[in-house]
Amino acid sequence: MPDSSPPVYGLVLAGGSGSRFWPLSRNDKPKQLLKLFDDETLLEKAVRRLDGLVPPGRILVLTNHAQLAGVKEVLPWLPEENFFAEPDKRDTGPAIALGIGAVARRDPEAVMMVLPADQLIADAEGFRSVMAAAVEAAAKGDAIVTLGIKPTWPCPGYGYIERGARARISGVEGGHPVHEVVRFREKPDTDLAERFLADGHFSWNAGIFVWSIATVMRELARHCPELADFVTELRHSRDFDATVAAQFPKLTRISVDYALMEKATRVFNIEADIGWDDVGGWVSVGKYLEQAGRDNATRGPVTLLDSYNNVVYSSGGARVALLGVHDLVVVQTSDAVLVADKDEADRIKKLVEDLPPELC
């Protein structure tokens, strides 16, 4: 019998700035284009994780014009026509709508995954297994499916998904339980995050979604008709690029969470324990670098004496030496050096705003 499964597409979101990784990251070389841990960028890792799930011809990558050349350079095996650039920053709602339009134009019967390009997932096989289950649930359940990450600590820096009853989906089996989503919760304070963890019904929101074109269009029409109209126009336009250039900058700046996910009427969740990390800044990178003793984490030529609990990243060729210091982030490149208290590292993004343009 012929396979009746719908075609599956992957939309990889690769347009973020990643300024928390300055001075290694720049406007034209954001976090997802950095080789933070080995000889492969986070973007390459994200695309390779789709091996066996989505053929290369159906992997679409969305970025912006400043980063487009760099994105294409690290993904030479993808077709040229599978790269798209936002003409303006309008947040994730319009960006994902652009991707939905690109997929709907090719195959309105498709199921599509939406995935950030800048996350680290240790268990690639586990990821593929969960995503295959999510595709099946989205197709057979006529629902939006979101991937939730099993929390390992009460993190106040992530959004949370509250799970409800087990979803009833005809014909869906397997080892990945599917639950109805009760609601999405904003980033909590530490006390509330601890209650979420103790409750056992909350997952971290990884920003990974799966839906059929029919389902997402129905939900957009109900809750964000502006984006639904934009997708419809893209689908039927004779000149896709011209329509994007003309209409995208006019769209309301809105996140996909506010535009769609928090309002959609049929949303399911699959919780996953796959070694996920959003690698939000230099402090979180430390656990993946060489452990140099006394809680120091290093990469590159580094010498330490009477120093502890530092993250030191040397990529500019010069040796970095630390003497009698602790709790620092030190990053050296060919044209800049960052020295920051670990407790202040979340403010690197603010620091970048005050730098000369040529260093951003």
8-277 is classed in which CATH architecture?
Alpha-Beta Complex (3.90)
In this prediction, residue 173 carries a pLDDT of: 62
For the residues of 296-358, what is the DSSP string, one character each? -EEESSEEEES-BS-EEEE-SSS-EEEES-BSEEEEE-SS-EEEEEGGGGGGHHHHHHTS-GG
What one-character DSSP code corresponds to residue 200?
Answer: S
Token output for 255 = 């996140």
In this prediction, residue 317 carries a pLDDT of: 84
Question: How would you write the pLDDT of the chain (360 residues) with one tens digit per residue?
Answer: 345 689 999 999 999 877 899 999 998 899 999 999 999 999 999 999 999 999 999 999 999 999 999 999 999 999 999 999 999 999 999 999 999 999 999 999 999 999 999 999 999 999 999 999 999 999 999 999 999 999 999 999 999 999 999 998 866 766 799 999 999 999 999 999 999 999 999 999 999 999 999 999 999 999 999 999 999 999 999 999 999 999 999 999 999 999 999 999 999 999 999 999 999 899 999 999 999 999 999 999 999 999 999 999 999 889 999 999 999 999 999 999 999 999 999 999 999 999 999 898
Strands 111-116 and 267-272: unpaired
Q: What is the largest CA-CA distance in the chain?
A: 71
* CA–CA distances in Å: residue 288 to residues 17, 252, 283, 305: 21, 39, 10, 21
Answer for the pair 160, 196: CB distance below 8 angstroms, yes or no: yes
Answer for the pair 214, 108: CB distance below 8 angstroms, yes or no: yes
Answer for the pair 328, 322: CB distance below 8 angstroms, yes or no: yes
In this prediction, residue 2 carries a pLDDT of: 47
Hey, CA dihedral for 350, 351, 357, 360, is it positive or negative? negative
Tell me the residue ranges of DSSP E strands in the chain.
Answer: 8-13, 59-64, 83-86, 111-116, 120-121, 144-149, 160-166, 179-185, 202-212, 267-272, 276-277, 290-291, 297-299, 302-305, 311-314, 320-323, 328-332, 337-341
Answer for the pair 119, 278: CB distance below 8 angstroms, yes or no: yes
In this prediction, residue 332 carries a pLDDT of: 97
In this prediction, residue 24 carries a pLDDT of: 96
Answer for the pair 322, 307: CB distance below 8 angstroms, yes or no: yes
Give the residue among 140, 97, 112, 145 at the shortest CA–CA distance from 244. Answer: 97
Answer for the pair 178, 141: CB distance below 8 angstroms, yes or no: yes
Token output for 109 = 């019967």
Give the residue among 200, 197, 169, 167 at the shortest CA–CA distance from 181. Answer: 167
Other CB atoms within 10 A of residue 28 CB: 13
Answer for the pair 82, 59: CB distance below 8 angstroms, yes or no: yes
Question: What single letter denotes the amino acid at residue 1?
Answer: M
Compute the distance between CA of residue 95 and CA of residue 64 in angstroms, rounded to an integer: 10
In this prediction, residue 174 carries a pLDDT of: 62
Q: What residue spans in the chain does CATH classification 3.90.550.10 cover? A: 8-277
